[in-house]
Structure 1
Amino acid sequence: MTFTNLLYQLEAETGILTITVNRPDKLNALNAATIEELRHAAQQARQDDAVRGIILTGSGEKSFVAGADIAELTKLDAATGQRAAEQGQEAFRLLEESSKPVIAAVNGFALGGGCELAMACHMRIASDNARFGQPEVNLGLIPGYGGTQRLTQLIGKGKALELLLTADMIKADEALRLGLVNHVVPQAELLNFTKQLLSRILTKAPLAVGLCIDAVSAYYDKERQGYQTEAESFGQCFTSADFREGTTAFLEKRPATFTGK
């Protein structure tokens, strides 16, 4: 697919894919077309063996994603609004359920749909000028792309309700204190820090990394049993070439060379 509102850049030597929401004149706000492109990008990344890990960010230094396209929202009714929410949830779920690690590099504003997009990633690294919030109640709305669920999972019910109901915007250091982000770094170091973290993860066994992501996700899925998923995945690891390589390398006191098999 040819992307209009995204930059899709794969670094062949590392396998790191950087997906950049690229609507700087709109502070990278999400419209329906951009959400559809995110869905296609997530699917393409999952299916491409050359992609080993993903960084998701926004263009410029002011905004990761400043929210949804408000002008577009005013044209929706109950039925089309629900469908828009379902489409956004589907696109974000593809990122969340990816077996390849996905890290958000949050530069500037991550508000509304932007905060929801960041929360759908497996980890979040924030620049020191990042701002987070779910201001939907100011518009007579609630989050529609999974924000009420993921914010509660990440920071707990009481604090999530406070942020949802007050529409307060918080700074990066407060987001770090609450557990909404993993690290806060200077703006100039954001992408390099994120790439270094992802590169460390990519030295590990790819199958085991993916199974860790899946087991953690199972904890939040009412249709799955997290402990059972963990046990089954643990057993699955013993059939892998990566397990044999990892244990052999450990005993031989050398770095492991994993193949993801």
Structure 2
Amino acid sequence: MRVAVLKLKNPPVNSLSLEFLTELNINLEKLENDKTFRGIIITSDCPRIFSAGLDLKELCGKNPAHYTEYYKALQNLWLRLYLSNLVLISAINGSCIAAGCLISLACDYRILADNPKYVIGMNETRLGLVAPFWFKDNLVNTIGHRASERALQLGLLFPPAEALQVGIVDKVVPEDQVQSTALSVMAQWLAVQDHARHLTKNMMRKSTADLLVKQRDADIQNFISFLSRDSIQKSLQMYLAKLTQNKG
């Protein structure tokens, strides 16, 4: 079986800059088109972090054209992951937050390293932001409506045991076993005939993806108008300043 390992590498925290999103989309498209691959394991090359989510610098003080390009790249990434014909397994070897969590949710299976310092979830409300409806839909499809409502409103970040309990990950294993477990789980998924699995995956996921496809432009406009509010720009700038101070 030919399985690609896609390592997220945008130090220090794999934040999803426009350049990084574009690169991810290109690499995923290449793997989709290369018929020798049947699966991808997505993991991180940065220590202790899978991905911290959106690059907030892309959302501060830019123009609407930039926000449009950025948000389209994010939509494209999710649609490409969520509807991929390949088996996608997320080998989560660090904290996995907000849009980073979305990447893992779009996969077929999630394995999290058992380290109490690693958390997974969508914490947008803690930054004064709102997760887009398709983030919400993907989460609801994974952990159910009530658990999603609580997680999204409170911006919850789950440590491994809680993540497993709520179902946002499928397996928690010792840190040094994340990759080997991903490979053994991959073998299980690849034991199923591809065409039957593709059609079943599409049947399960297409209606959720179609909601975004039908509303893409309106979704972009909502994002831009929300982001362009003075109060949102101020809170993002304050948060970025705080991050910079912490680094200092």
For this structure pair, what is the TM-score category when the shorter chain's length is used for normalisation? Answer: 0.7 to 0.9
Structure with bigger helix share is: 2
- Find the aligned partners of 2:161 and 2:8 in 1 and give their Cα distance: 24
Q: Look up the match of 1:42.
A: 28
Calculate the aligned-residue CA RMSD, in Å.
Answer: 2.0
- Normalized against structure 2, the TM-score is what? 0.77
Q: Look up the match of 1:100.
A: 86
CA apart distance, 1:106: 0.8
- Find the aligned partners of 1:143 and 1:217 in 2 and give their Cα distance: 19
Residue 117 of structure 1 aligns with an amino acid whose one-letter code is I
- Find the aligned partners of 2:138 and 2:123 in 1 and give their Cα distance: 15
- Find the aligned partners of 1:165 and 1:79 in 2 and give their Cα distance: 30
CA apart distance, 1:82: 4.8
Instruction: Structure 2: give runs of 5+ residues left out of the alignment.
Output: 212-248
Whether 2:44 is the aligned partner of 1:20: answer no
CA apart distance, 1:87: 2.0
- Find the aligned partners of 2:124 and 2:65 in 1 and give their Cα distance: 18
Mapping 1:1-261, distance limit 5 Å? 14-23=1-10, 25-76=11-62, 80-129=66-115, 130-144=118-132, 146-218=134-206, 220=208
CA apart distance, 1:17: 0.5
- Find the aligned partners of 1:82 and 1:151 in 2 and give their Cα distance: 24
CA apart distance, 1:83: 4.4
Asked if 2 retains the 8 angstrom alpha-carbon contact of 1:92 and 1:145, the reply is no
- Find the aligned partners of 1:22 and 1:125 in 2 and give their Cα distance: 19
- Find the aligned partners of 2:137 and 2:63 in 1 and give their Cα distance: 23
Asked if 1 retains the 8 angstrom alpha-carbon contact of 2:79 and 2:209, the reply is no
CA apart distance, 1:135: 1.6
* Secondary structure in 2 matching 1:26: coil
- Find the aligned partners of 2:53 and 2:192 in 1 and give their Cα distance: 35
Q: Look up the match of 1:247.
A: none
CA apart distance, 1:180: 1.1
For CA contacts below 8 A with separation 6 or more, give which structure has more relative contact order. Answer: 2
1:84-136 deviation per Cα after TM superposition (whole angstroms, max 9, x unaligned): 33320211211111111111111111001100111111211111123112122
Change (3 A) 1:145 1:33: farther
- Normalized against structure 1, the TM-score is what? 0.73
Residue 13 of structure 2 aligns with an amino acid whose one-letter code is L
CA apart distance, 1:202: 1.9
Q: Give percent identity, aligned residues only.
A: 25
Name the larger-Rg structure.
Answer: 1
Asked if 2 retains the 8 angstrom alpha-carbon contact of 1:56 and 1:102, the reply is yes
